[in-house]
Structure 1
Amino acid sequence: MTLPTVDVHAHVLLPEIEALVDGAPGLAEARALDARRNGPAALAVNGSMIRERVSKLTDVAARLAAMDAQGVDVQLVSPSPSHYHYWADQDTAEKVYRLANEATAAHCSAAPERLRGLGLVPLQHPDHMVPALDHALEQGLLGVEISSHAPGRELSDAAYEPFWSRAEEAGAVLFLHPFGCTLDERLDRWYLSNTVGQPAENAVALSHLIFSGVLDRHPGLKLIAAHGGGYLPTHIGRSDHAWSTRSDAGAGCAHPPSSYLRRLYFDSLVHDPYVLRELVRAAGADRVLLGSDFPFDMGTEDPVGMVRAARLSEADFDAVRGGNAAALLRKDLSS
């Protein structure tokens, strides 16, 4: 039996969601905030970048051809984070998550042997997250994608406890993928909103989950952090030091923060072989999964080659390439 190569960080664009929210109260304000945070130069580049990649984002045949070229057998497909729409009221949010779940499931059903899917939940409405997760699972999706925070709420918020409980009970995969950074206009040039903002948001979100005790209360969560977990895994020593020396830092979690890295999963998309080696050292080779951010420009067209460049042992390379994903997803991914 040969384990396939599995990419856990790949996206689908769902134009029907943008048609659904068009003209809804709050959308214009949300887009204005996004524009301020990114800056005009980034928005101009983003538009042309998406147009160049729209076929890979929407057409299954184009996706499969690209996967073949990359040597990827299976993708775990999640909606573009631009579809979160955490500004939406409850009625609109329910329409968004239902449409996202159903449309992602339909996209993956065109090639079920090669595509698995994740849905969305309304992080801004904690009371609706369990029904949204259940809806995603009912569509045959493996779990859901979430951002690093919602307006006015961090992932440590007690209102999310029922969601963590249900996700743990169901064995659902949670994909933590930030969208937007609250450093706002400080990052509005040179695409700092992404290059600095994304890894910063990952680090903040994971720190909330660790220091608040969420991972103590829900040790069975299957949570994958995009972008290698951002800055946290390579700077976790500072967190350990604070936990051991300050009563305020150590009050919420039972163990040193670094120990929780081995309860989480991370994709391999760190753009540096030395950083990837350090991620494998810090989290364990069994906690790192192949990720490409397909097909966006901040991803990689050669995810397998990027892992190979880290010069891991052959056993660790095979684990990252696909073995870990097969174990995590609990699906028959053999080929």
Structure 2
Amino acid sequence: MSATEAAAAAPTVDVHAHVLLPEVEALVAALPGFAGARTLDARRNGPAALAVSGAMVRERLPRLTDPAVRLAAMDACGVDVQLVSPSPSHYHYWSDEPTAEKLYRLANEATAGHCAAAPGRLRGLGLVPLQHPALAVGALDHALAQGLLGVEISSHAPGRELSDPAYEPLWARAEERGALLFLHPFGCTLDERLDRWYLSNTVGQPTENAVALSHLIFSGVLDRHPGLKVLAAHGGGYLPTHIGRSDHAWSARPDAGAGCAHPPSHYLGRLYFDSLVHDPYVLRELVRVAGADRVLLGSDFPFDMGAADPVAALRAAGLPAAEFHAVRGANAAALLRKD
């Protein structure tokens, strides 16, 4: 069997799909910090976005919570396997240490329970409290103990970027255990500048992706942990298609090049990216700069900013057959395989 034939035989795997966990929200709903977090969310998004998002989530709630409804939706768009991660709204990085520990345990166990309804088709990711780095390794270990494949993280925590040395134990443990880190932003620190026309998502998410990945690259995290498995949502945001500017800074300025051993473009081949870029030409460029073996099918199921038919969106890029099948499922099948 040729490499193309082997890739074509792989299942179709969607690595960007979410589950909503009502028990997590019930845990935090009465806590004082929750009101402040909701106020910040309202300020960042604006009233129009919140109204539309609320109605959208209510309409899609069965797909977010009921495994049977999820599986039927997967069948309808030809997806064999989903990698299910908690809705980023469950991060709650404002919570104190005791609450954060309760939250990650509840989220990890609930996600594992959701996936247990169809273990051959649903694999899961847990959460770690980035606001409390001392808890992060334990949270990762807990997620893996539930049979999850890794954890989902945001682009930053309050007062900490991903380049913060406090996260070194987390990167080391994830590398040691072969755990996947799914980088999915929630909220953008540009705040009210993006509070109209849903700019908080359309501009904010790819901005946060680019900033977070730049911190991992320029700080040398990927040099110190070359086996780290980081999967960036939304195609890595703005960074992959503008990586030339980062390379230029690295070569032209001693302050830019001081922290990492290679030009930033070198590290795109050490990262993974989902295919959710909403433009076939951008997807082709992502495959070109990162490599066809580093891009994985992603839909953001079942939210409205996702791809209702991710395979059709991938097909529109017109990739060669071997690359199409690699992105469609073969790359994910290899990445998510557990020894």
Q: TM-score range by the shorter chain?
A: over 0.9
Structure 2 unaligned residues grouped into runs of 5+ = 1-5
Runs of 4+ deviating beyond 4 Å: none
1:106 aligns with 2:113: yes
* Deviation readout 1:61-81 (Å, 9 max, x if unpaired): 000000000100000000000
What does residue 142 of structure 1 align with? 149
Q: What amino acid does structure 1 have at the position aligned with 2:23? A: E
Q: What amino acid does structure 2 have at the position aligned with 1:269? A: L
Q: Return the alpha-carbon distance in structure 1 between the equivalents of residues 107 and 30 of structure 2.
A: 18
- SS class of match (1:7): strand
1:189 aligns with 2:196: yes
What does residue 115 of structure 1 align with? 122
What does residue 69 of structure 2 align with? 62
- SS class of match (1:250): coil
Q: What amino acid does structure 2 have at the position aligned with 1:220? A: G
Q: What amino acid does structure 2 have at the position aligned with 1:314? A: A
- SS class of match (2:318): coil
1:206 aligns with 2:248: no
CA drift at 1:330: 1.6
Q: Would you say how many aligned residue pairs link Structure 1 and Structure 2?
A: 332
The aligned runs of 1:241-280 (5 Å cut-off) are: 241-280=248-287
What does residue 55 of structure 2 align with? 48
What does residue 303 of structure 2 align with? 296
Q: What amino acid does structure 2 have at the position aligned with 1:160? A: Y
CA drift at 1:202: 0.1
Q: Return the alpha-carbon distance in structure 2 between the equivalents of residues 270 and 207 of structure 1.
A: 18
What does residue 154 of structure 1 align with? 161
* Deviation readout 1:143-171 (Å, 9 max, x if unpaired): 00000000000000000000000000000
* TM-score with structure 1 setting the length: 0.98
CA drift at 1:331: 4.3
Q: Return the alpha-carbon distance in structure 2 between the equivalents of residues 234 and 80 of structure 1.
A: 27
Q: Return the alpha-carbon distance in structure 1 between the equivalents of residues 330 and 120 of structure 2.
A: 17
CA drift at 1:22: 1.1
- SS class of match (1:26): helix
CA drift at 1:25: 2.3
Structure 1 unaligned residues grouped into runs of 5+ = none
* Deviation readout 1:20-52 (Å, 9 max, x if unpaired): 001112111111001000000000001100011
- SS class of match (1:263): coil
- SS class of match (2:108): helix
Q: What amino acid does structure 2 have at the position aligned with 1:57? A: L
Q: What amino acid does structure 2 have at the position aligned with 1:44? A: A
What does residue 94 of structure 1 align with? 101
- SS class of match (1:219): coil
Q: Return the alpha-carbon distance in structure 2 between the equivalents of residues 145 and 13 of structure 1.
A: 14
Identity %: 83
* Deviation readout 1:80-123 (Å, 9 max, x if unpaired): 00000000000000010000000000000000010000000000
Q: What amino acid does structure 1 have at the position aligned with 2:74? A: M
